[in-house]
Amino acid sequence: MRLIRLERQPSRVAEDVRAALAALGRGDDFAGGIALAGARPLPGRPPVEAIVVLPRAVLVVIGVDLPDPAIRLDAPLTGQWKADGWPLVADGEVVNPATEALAFAGAVAERLRPDVPEHLPIATIIAVGPFVEEIEQPPADLAGNVRVLFPTQNSLLAAIASLTPAPWPCTPAQARALIDTLAPDTNLTGDALAAEGFTVTEESATVKLPPVKPRPRRTRPAGPAAVPPVVPPAEVTMPVPRVTAAAPVRTPPPPGPVPWRPVGAIAVALVLVVVVLVLVTTGGDDEPVTAPTTTTAVTPVRQAVAGIEFTKRASGTERTCAARAYGDLQARLQAGGCAGMERGSFEATVDGRVVAVSVAVLTFGSDEQAAAFKQLADTPGSGGITDLATETHQWPREPDTAGAAYQSAISGAAVRLVLAAYLDGQSSPEDPVLLRAAGAALGVRIS
């Protein structure tokens, strides 16, 4: 990414924004583009912290200065902001600093829209400072195109990965036309723009009105026993998972009557014996070591979040959490317990790669307990929650989660943990495709 410094901005966090953009480096295949720090798109209004013209998106970065540094910031787009549990106030009134920033960003986006290629989304980054270690946004907010973050190289990369990109990059000519409206004296050459990811593709050269979503690059046909899936949104076609449980039995019945009544009676008796044994062996005050079996979903259910369509492989709820965890997280849950857990496994196709996404939502008795658990879960090497589809053998091939990308979110007393890994190869926690899938899954519905 090439950083071009224009005007100075009034916010204190502006310097952090510039430092983070500069740290991304030039010519990165994922986060290329041109960052115009201090651009002034609206005459008579202050300059913004940055307008970042990426090959597949445009970011409007607005700075918000907090009164003091914070360890944790609860930052819903609408509603109360809290710094380390204390509400932010100004002149004795509770405030949400994002309100004015979002209105400003909306006006900037409206001004830019005629000059931005139709297929490029315009997203908003609310950069907060002077320093925040952890920022929490509700899952519903994360499903949109606004991110609240303390500007660092990693936080910017994660935000870009989780936002919906265009199906193909804008051309150097399109990028130069947009940049010239904001900074006419930049004089960027075609080679410089091409080095930052602005290229001419077959789609951009031939299609005048591009579709909103890209066509899938790869599909896996369902077998003859597949159940017809729920009709997906028209713009995306996803592979339909194979469901063998609903396949009709095509073998002809044996000749003559079948003596099913005695067999059924024996089966019922065996079930009653098993139930009695289970009640005897699990009775008492202690919680059983093995958690009850989770109900799994077998019918393909699809939903789109942040431009990615997720097909459900399995889902279920249970009251015991420790039995489904491992590592330090299991020890924490064994000591403190939880109020309940919901797990879901989803399949998605991102940039032609099939991704397995595992989601776990754990609910605790208090917000403090949830925050402590999330802090431990965010610590590398602290363990995790087992994937439901892997546990119940719902994947066509088991994904290797050793290098999975990780994302987490907290909403009150509920903590959501997400892992995303490729189904067809090795994964890396810094992979932009996996980070984007994991970020979108923060807003996916499990049930």
Q: How far is CA 156 from the centre of its chain?
A: 14
Tell me the average pLDDT across 216-227: 36
DSSP letter, residue 398: -
Tell me the average pLDDT across 65-93: 87
Sheet with strand 86-87: strands edge to edge:
86-87, 82-83, 70-74, 132-136
Average pLDDT of the chain is 79
Please report which confidence band the pLDDT of residue 297 belongs to, taking 50, 70 and 90 as the band edges.
very low
Please report which confidence band the pLDDT of residue 88 belongs to, taking 50, 70 and 90 as the band edges.
confident
pLDDT of residue 299: 59
Which residues is 346 bridged to in the sheet?
312, 357
Helix (H) / strand (E) containing 71: strand 70-74
In this model, does residue 157 exceed pLDDT 90? Answer: no
Strands 122-129 and 146-149: parallel
- The closest of 238, 243, 444 to 360, measured between CA atoms, is 444
Query: DSSP letters along 99-116, please?
Result: HHHHHHHHHHHHHHGGGS
In this model, does residue 422 exceed pLDDT 50? Answer: yes
In this model, does residue 166 exceed pLDDT 50? Answer: yes
pLDDT of residue 237: 37
- The closest of 121, 122, 115 to 174, measured between CA atoms, is 115
b/e map 276-289, b = 16+ CB within 10 Å: eeeeeeeeeeeeee
pLDDT of residue 159: 87
DSSP letter, residue 311: E
Task: Tell me which of 247 and 39 has the higher pLDDT.
Answer: 39
In this model, does residue 330 exceed pLDDT 60? Answer: yes
Q: Rounded to whole angstroms, how far apart are CA atoms 71 and 425?
A: 37
Helices 153-162 + 432-441 axis angle, to 10:
70
pLDDT of residue 261: 40
- The closest of 18, 2, 43 to 181, measured between CA atoms, is 43
Strands 93-94 and 325-326: unpaired
In this model, does residue 404 exceed pLDDT 90? Answer: yes
- The closest of 443, 447, 419, 439 to 341, measured between CA atoms, is 447
Helices (H), 39-197: 98-112, 139-142, 153-162, 172-182, 190-195
Tell me the average pLDDT across 307-332: 90
Which residues is 94 bridged to in the sheet?
89
Which class for 252: exposed (0-12), middle (13-18), buried (19 or more C-beta within 10 A)?
exposed
Strands 34-37 and 2-5: parallel
Task: Tell me which of 269 and 339 has the higher pLDDT.
Answer: 339
pLDDT of residue 250: 40
Please report which confidence band the pLDDT of residue 74 belongs to, taking 50, 70 and 90 as the band edges.
very high
Neighbours of 253 (CB within 10 A): 7
Distances (CA, A) of 222 to 208, 228, 399: 34, 9, 19
Please report which confidence band the pLDDT of residue 214 belongs to, taking 50, 70 and 90 as the band edges.
very low
Task: Give 93-136 pLDDT, tens digit per residue.
Answer: 767 888 999 999 999 999 999 999 988 999 999 999 999 989 99
Residues 6+ apart with CB under 8 A from 7: 38, 39, 40, 47
Residue count (the chain): 447
pLDDT of residue 91: 64
- Report pTM: 0.54
Q: Rounded to whole angstroms, how far apart are CA atoms 422 and 438?
A: 12
pLDDT of residue 396: 87
Task: Give 226-278 pLDDT, tens digit per residue.
Answer: 333 433 443 333 333 433 333 343 444 444 443 334 444 444 445 444 444 44
| Phi, psi of 388, deg, nearest 5 | -70, -45
Output Rg (C-alpha) for the chain, integer angstroms: 26
Question: Which residue in the block uniquely carries the two structure tokens 């495709």?
Answer: 433
Whether residue 130 is preceded by a cis peptide bond, meaning omega within 30 degrees of 0, is yes
Residue percentage of the chain with pLDDT more than 90: 42
In this model, does residue 416 exceed pLDDT 60? Answer: yes
- Do the beta carbons of residue 370 and residue 364 sit within 8 Å? yes
Task: Tell me which of 27 and 158 has the higher pLDDT.
Answer: 158
- The closest of 169, 171, 121, 170 to 146, measured between CA atoms, is 121
